[in-house]
Structure 1
Amino acid sequence: MTDTPEISVNTLAGHLVDRLVHEATKFRCIVTKGERGETLIDAGSAVVGGIDAGLLMAEVCLGGLGTVTLTPFNASPNWPFHLTVRTKDPVIACLGSQYAGWSLQHGEGKGAFFALGSGPARALALKEPLFHDLGYADVADRATLVLEGDRPPPPEVVDKVAQACKVAADRVAFIYAPTRSLAGGVQVVARVLEVAMHKVHELKFPLSRVIDGIATAPLSPPHPDFVTAMGRTNDAIIYGGQAHLFVTGPANEAKELAAALPSTTSRDYGQPFAQIFKTYKGDFYKIDPTLFSPAAAMVTAVETGETFRAGHIDLALLDASFG
């Protein structure tokens, strides 16, 4: 349970959205209004977008509760620039906002729309069982949703989101960019801390004991092919990501958490993600879910000062994936 229910991720993220709208030319984005009056921000489909747009998108996904920066990192010499994510509220920022847990779809057949929504609007809609465990619900008069895709949602989906969030449609903003774009790739790799937090939840470690977090992963090069681009963003985390969590409670439990966190514990570890995806014939649900984790983990038990480490960066697999 969070002890900070007064935090509004939609209000905080809204300030970032306003910046993206007002400086659209600078970020190489296009801002339009949809049929319902919703704000549509294309950050990488019909526009170039770029790394800066992706960094801001990632901070929007975090509900304005985290920072995402691009910094040099000498542990992976062939891919020396890393995205570093930091938040003092990793539970709400990562699980209550950034996690892509809202499934949106409309229509059937070739023209059907499907996308996973991430970002602060999730904390208004509360459509996912996860929010029962988080104990967090946002209250705001605006909503923002980030979509990993190359087209905006149809009016029917806009209506669904507005109704679920209990806000007017003209108070909803959608930011979208495909994985193959620079901005889209950046915002996916910037989930390196989020996947660690999701695994913490799956391991049933008390979320209230995670009091701070930082994580980093190499910036993956984009690729025009969707599967290749998706594979690279996943590999950046699975084979090149590192997460450092700060937790309260017994040191032995922090040690156990560190040992269980890395992707190296997965049965599917050891091949580029695109290859794993093809092996399972494109069925995500057949992939071992424990694979979706940073390559290496550090957990510090703040009350004893002890730090525990597990996993490792795999430079050869990064090279095999990134080309």
Structure 2
Amino acid sequence: MFNLHTFSLFDHLSDTAISKRIVASTVAGASVLDAGVHTAGSLAAGVGLARLCLADRAEVTLVPCDERSFVSPNAVFVRTDDPIGACLAAQYAGWPIHTDDFFAMGSGPMRAARGREELLTELKINETASTVFGVLESDKLPTQSAIELISDQCKVPPAQVRLAIAPSSSIAGNIQVVARSIETALHKLHALKFDVRQIVSATGHAPLPPPAKPGDSIGGIGRTNDAILYGASVTLWTDASDDEIENVAANVPSNSSPDHGQPFAKIFKTYDFDFYKVDPQLFSPAVVTIHNLRSGRTWNVGQIETALLRQSFLS
């Protein structure tokens, strides 16, 4: 039960909101944790948001990073033994929440309760929940219309909606997005028709960029995506045939896309700032390592693009 599993984590974030520079409030009956819209947020808030996105089915930590290679002293490290539940059932930002007065990318276990995405249908992921939990990437708090939309599509009253929110240009939002390294690898493999249910464990490491200036959502989106596209390294433990892995391995990293090679903010602009127009093959880590538990073989594909990271992070 993805939403039920997240209950205690949300309550903990709410109970410790002040120490994490989170503002807890109620919007149209729903509980909302602001971790970066009208507050500075914090590193701890960012780790908390990332764990919420993952339905608390993964560990998220900040670790040292090789400054010389990544142009950043810090990185976000994610580890999970439930990669499908954590990353595809919950973390994937597959729900664009759009009303007349609000837009945000929605993620978290509330997606499983909604159950309308093609990805969830294909993986047979769906649940009925009495309370739903989600994370929104936006620079404004949800409006009443947004709460009503989430309530309606998740089939719960507004009072049973629990949300955390932060823009990508905030401390917390920055961490939450960069924690998606494993998710991008799994989603890419699924798009390549690999049975991702054969992946049993995973780790992801991505450099943490400096936050963009307040209000610069494009800058925030650009840097956080560059951290994954050009700096993330993901390792997957898989129980599959060698032929299945061999058929897809070279196409998993971001360098398999023709859009690869420019800072994401520049790519985004050429597609009129519409995520759904960008080549979907681009959204994957820079480097992917696949260990096959069945045969003992390992594949290592892709490469870190230090010059592009430097251009993105330090410009």
Distance 1:32 1:80 in 2: 34
Hey, what does 1:287 align to over in structure 2? 278
Give 1:219 deviation, angstroms: 0.5
Match of 2:194 in 1: 205
Q: Distance in 1 between matches of 2:294 and 2:48?
A: 34
Q: Distance in 1 between matches of 2:139 and 2:57?
A: 26
SS in 2 for 1:178: coil
State the shift of 1:119 in Å. 0.4
Residue 264 of structure 1 deviates from its aligned partner by: 0.9
One-letter code aligned to 1:163: D
Q: What is residue 243 of structure 2 aligned with on the other side?
A: 252
- Mapped to 1, the partners of 2:272 and 2:128 lie a distance apart of 41
> How far apart are 1:152 and its partner, in Å?
2.2
Q: Equivalents in 1 of 2:63, 2:57: separation in Å? A: 19
Where structure 1 has 5 or more consecutive residues not aligned to the other structure, the ranges are 1-7
Q: What are the superposed Cα offsets for residues 90-120 of structure 1, whole Å, 9 maximum, x if unpaired?
A: 112111110111122221xxxx211121001
Q: Verify: 1:146 aligned to 2:135, yes or no.
A: yes
**Post-superposition CA distance 1:134-178 (Å, at most 9, x none):** 112223321111110122222222122122222221111111111
Distance in 1 of aligned mates of 2:260 and 2:200:
29
Alignment of 1:54-73 (within 5 A): 54-73=46-65
The residue that corresponds to 2:176 in the other structure is: 187
| Offset of residue 23 of structure 1 | 0.2
Aligned equivalents of 1:45 and 1:114: distance in 2?
A: 14
Instruction: Return the match for 2:95 from 102, 114, 123.
Output: 102
3-state SS of paired residue (2:135): strand
Instruction: Supply the distance in 2 between the matched residues of 1:251 and 1:240 (Cα, whole angstroms).
Output: 27
Give SS of 2:84's match.
helix
Which residue among 299, 302, 306 is the counterpart of 1:308? 299
The CA RMSD over aligned residues, in Å, is 1.4
2:17 aligns with 24
Distance 2:92 2:70 in 1: 30
Which residue does the alignment assign to 1:5? none
5+ residue gaps, structure 2, are none
Report the CA distance between 1:77 and its aligned residue: 5.2
CA–CA separation in structure 1 for the residues paired with 2:86 and 2:128: 15
TM-score by length of 1: 0.93
Mapped to 1, the partners of 2:48 and 2:118 lie a distance apart of 28
- Within 2, Cα distance between the matches of 1:78 and 1:153? 35
Matches of 1:125 and 1:283 in 2, distance apart?
Answer: 23
SS in 2 for 1:76: helix
* Within-5 A mapping of 1:1-323: 8-35=1-28, 37-74=29-66, 76=69, 78-107=71-100, 112-224=101-213, 225-323=216-314
How big is each residue's C-alpha offset from its partner over 1:13-51, in whole Å with a ceiling of 9 and x where there is no partner? 12111011000011100001123x210110001101022
Give the paired residue count.
311
Residue by residue over 1:169-196, the C-alpha shift from the partner in whole angstroms, topping out at 9 and shown as x without a partner, is 1111111111110101110111111111
